[in-house]
Amino acid sequence: MKKVYILILLIAGTISTVQAQKKWTLKECVDYALENNIAIKQAQLDRQNTEIDKKDAVGSFLPTLNANTSHSWNIGLNTNITTGVLQNQTTQNTSAGLSMNVTLFDGLQNVNRLHRANLALLANQYQLDDIKDNTSLQVVQAFLQILFNKESLKVLKTQYQVTKEQLDRTNELVKEGVLAPGEVLEIEANIATQEQQIVNAENTLRISKISLAQLLLLNDYDNFDIAEGNYMIPSITIMNNTPKQIFEKSLEVRNDVKISETSIKLAEYDLKIAQGQRYPTLSGFYSFNTRANNSDIFAGLAPNTEEPLSQVGFVQGTETPVLRRNFISLSEKSDALFEQFNDNKGHSFGLQLSIPIFTGFRISNGIKRSKIAIERAQYNLEQTKNNLEATVNQAYNDVKGALKAYEAAEKTLTSRKEAHRYATNRFDEGIMNSFDFSQSKQRLESAESDVIRTKYDYIFRLKILEFYFGLPLTDLN
């Protein structure tokens, strides 16, 4: 038993270690976000509603079928529904029926509703894809931010080690009498500043990891990390296209444009549905009914043998009595329930035509609203295209500017490295003081940070432009 317990602990520990060491790639982050993002799940629910709306549209072509039944008790003088005779009695009546109605023509409203439902499904898919695209872009931005913060932290730690080595070298120069003891103080102050920068960079990196983890709806912030990799400057083949070419391509792939175009078609079908209300509606109907009664049935009259005659008056003038023959009514038990249902069944069917003549301007106002909706949707499409063109041109210029900034930062870094190498030689020879040397080192550090910042800014700007061109976001090389 003890061995089994130890084995379980070892397996659990191994699983925890594997989970803790997991490094998320960009593709894994994007795929996970697309599967778990709340906005995407809400859009998927909207699509389910749209599918139900389509079923409603299909159902408008089908007949409606209804069944009805009732059972009543009648006490006192009432009409027997079977014989039609007024009787003072207690009866129980049962009726049942089946009715069906089907629309034969309604101005093609049902046809247009079905077409509109199909378009609504398409529009909903475009909206879902648009949310997925925006979510992917957010993940890429958060992923690149972590990479930038990681490289910045590495640079700071490397600079920190170099400064500590420089402190050791300065102490040796002070012992040799090449430098004054006060030169050490400037480097020690530099080290303290770098330690503070490292702490701030570590906090910034942790916050950026938390931001991406929250975007992925992950709670284990401490163990969340991404795969670093060696992300070089990607190819810029997209820049071989002009902004106009990229814009024309974006018109084909961007979901917000597709949504706007579909909205116009939806509004046009709304207009057709509204116009269809002007036409007569022709429907067919069929009904089946039957009934039963459990009271005694009137069977006829028979002479009253106990009192065959009764006096009803006298002949005027002679006082001769006037007699009337007495009869008694005969009744018999009602037939069995299902026999009555069979005997009393009936059918009815026919056509019904409804012609709209005056509806309080409801139909005409609905048509006017639909026409306004079409015009509004057309303006919205035009505005969407204008915004997209402006965004593409801005993204194109941002890529060009980011590339120039990165190239300039690299040139600056090359010059700063050479200047710092020269300053190091002069400092080691005791020609340069520690303050001037620190200034040279800070300029080098600033140049290294600028290269990292401009590198990832350029990568992100380029991914945005490729995003509008329809290229995948998950490839950073």
CA R_g for the chain: 46
Give the model's confidence band at 4: pLDDT under 50 very low, under 70 low, under 90 confident, else very high.
Answer: very low
The string of pLDDT tens digits covering residues 71-100 is 888 777 766 655 566 667 677 788 999 999
Whether 311 is in a domain gets the answer: yes
pLDDT of 327 reads 67
The answer to whether residue 318 is domain-embedded is yes
Per-residue tokens: 154: 């590495």
36-40, 72-76, 416-420: least confidently modelled range: 72-76
Question: Span 94-123, mean pLDDT?
Answer: 94
Q: Is 286 inside a domain boundary?
A: no
Going by pLDDT thresholds of 50, 70 and 90, the confidence category of residue 385 is very high
Which strands, in side-by-side order, build the sheet including 64-79? 64-79, 86-105, 281-293, 346-354
- What's the domain count of the chain? 1
Q: Is the pLDDT of residue 9 over 50?
A: no
User: What's this model's pTM, rounded to 2 decimal places?
Assistant: 0.77
Q: Answer whether residue 253 is part of any domain.
A: no
Confidence grade of residue 17 (pLDDT, cut at 50, 70, 90): very low
By CB atoms closer than 10 A (0-12, 13-18, 19+), residue 148 is: buried
- The stretch 221-233 carries a mean pLDDT of 81
Does 217 map to a domain? no
Which string of DSSP letters, residue by residue, matches 295-357?
SPEEEEEEE-SSS-EEEEEE-TTT-PEEEEE-EEEEEEPPPPHHHHHHHT-EEEEEEEEE---
- Unique residue bearing structure tokens 């008694």: 328
- Mark 383-414 as b/e (b = at least 16 C-beta within 10 Å): ebbeebbebbeebbebbeebbebbeebbebbe
Which SS3 state, helix, strand or coil, does residue 250 take?
helix
**Helix (H, G, I), strand (E, B), or coil: what is residue 167?**
helix
Q: Is residue 328 part of a domain?
A: yes
Q: pLDDT tens-digit profile of 139-174? A: 999 998 998 999 889 888 988 888 888 888 878 877
What range defines the domain where residue 321 resides?
297-332
Mean pLDDT (the chain, rounded): 85
Residue 279 binned pLDDT confidence (cut-offs 50, 70, 90): very high
- The verdict on residue 327 lying in a domain is yes
**pLDDT confidence of residue 320:** 75
DSSP class of residue 219?
Answer: -
In a domain, residue 313? The reply is: yes
Mean pLDDT of 258-279: 95
pLDDT grade for 190, boundaries at 50, 70 and 90: confident
Share of the chain above pLDDT 70, in %: 85
Round to whole Å and give the CA distance between 375 and 383.
12
**pLDDT at 22 (0 to 100):** 83
Which residue did the predictor score with more confidence, 335 or 368? 368
The pLDDT assigned to 175 comes to 83
| C-alpha triplet 362, 365, 368: angle, nearest 5° | 155
Give the per-residue pLDDT at 7: 43
For 432, list phi and psi in degrees, rounded to 5: -105, 140
Spell out the SS3 assignment of 351-364.
EEEECCCCCCCHHH
